[in-house]
Structure formats: structure tokens, C-alpha cells
Amino acid sequence: MNRPRTLFALSGLITALLPLTTAAQTAKPPTTCPALLSHSFARLQDEAPQNLCQYAGKVLLVVNTASYCGFTRQYEGLEALHARYEKRGLVILGFPANDFGQQEPGNTQAIADLCFNTYGVKFPMFSKTAVVGPQRNAFYTQLFQATKAAPQWNFHKYLIARDGQTVSSFQSAVEPGSAALTAAIESALKATP
């Protein structure tokens, strides 16, 4: 005799919860990876492969770095940006490259030592790669195609919006703490994908 009432009560509960389930499903972040981020690179410290899709929905500042450049001190400013904006969704991605003036001649261990021990870098760094020329990696090829601006030197910066499609370019001389770059980061962090 209680079985019909129990079934009726359960069906009423399910009907009441159904709109909540639908609302929760629509609030989920997108599960697709933007084409621009569909690349994997070896992590600098241990060469473990890392897929950039893990950063989908974040604001990304992509920087080609070098250990023996006049701009190498920008690691400090980049780390300050990382500390300031990480909790709001900024991820800085460092790509050491020996494309300009042979200013990144070291091996993985030497580059990691400079980044992590000398400058205290905590943002993701990847193994040495090419960012210009015929050996340029596919990610940098897409960044160039999106902005029509190739790096002219070390510490060129690309800012990728949360949508994974909108990309801005900043020349090497633009300091990480400059008004122009921080304003662009602030704006990108406020935008929704």
C-alpha cells in the first residue's frame, strides 16, 4: 500500500530536481579545446609531455625566452604577473628558444636551473623549441597567423584570450609590468569565453 505513495513522491522529487540538473549542466565549462591550443610540448623540468588544452578557458601569455639576453631580467616581471593574476585565470607559458643571437645555447638542465633557481619561475616552462623560421613549431606558426606578428627577438609576448582564438602581440621591449600589457591582461581576464 505504501509503494504507490513512495513512487509518487519519488517522481515528484525527480521532477523538482530536473531543472536544477539542466541548469548545472549548462554552467559547465566547455569541454572542447580551441584549435590554437591543440599542441603538446615537453615540460622543461622533466620533459613530461603537456597538452596545452589543459589551459582552455584561461588567459594565456606566451613568451619566447632566452637565458643570455638583455631582456632575460623580464623573468622577474613575468613571475610578478604570474603571482598577481594566477588566481584570476592568467597562465604564463615560457618557450625557451635559441633563434635570436644564439642566446639560449644551453641544454634542458641549464635552462631549468636559470629559470627555477636563479629567477624563481613558477609558471609553466617548456623545453627549448624554435619560434621563427622553417623549424618554427606549429603553435608559434598559428600565433603568427593570428597576429601577422612574428617574434623579432627574445621575450616577444602573445596574449591569448579565454576564447582561445583572440590573440594580441607585444614586442620584446614591452615590459611585463607595463601599462599596455597589464591593461590588456586585465581586460582579457574580465571577458568571458
Residue 18 DSSP SS3: helix
Any catalytic annotation for residue 33?
no
Q: Which residue has the cell 597567423?
A: 145
Distance CA 152, CA 95 (A): 15
Helices (H), the chain: 2-26, 74-85, 108-112, 138-147, 179-190
C-alpha grid cell, residue 31 = 569541454
| Spatial contact of 59 and 160, defined as CB atoms under 8 Å apart | yes
Residue 162 to residues 36, 100, 129, 136, Cα–Cα distance (Å): 12, 30, 24, 24
C-alpha grid cell, residue 123 = 609558471
Residue 154 DSSP SS3: coil
Catalytic residue among 33, 53, 69, 115: 69
Catalytic residue positions? Answer: 69
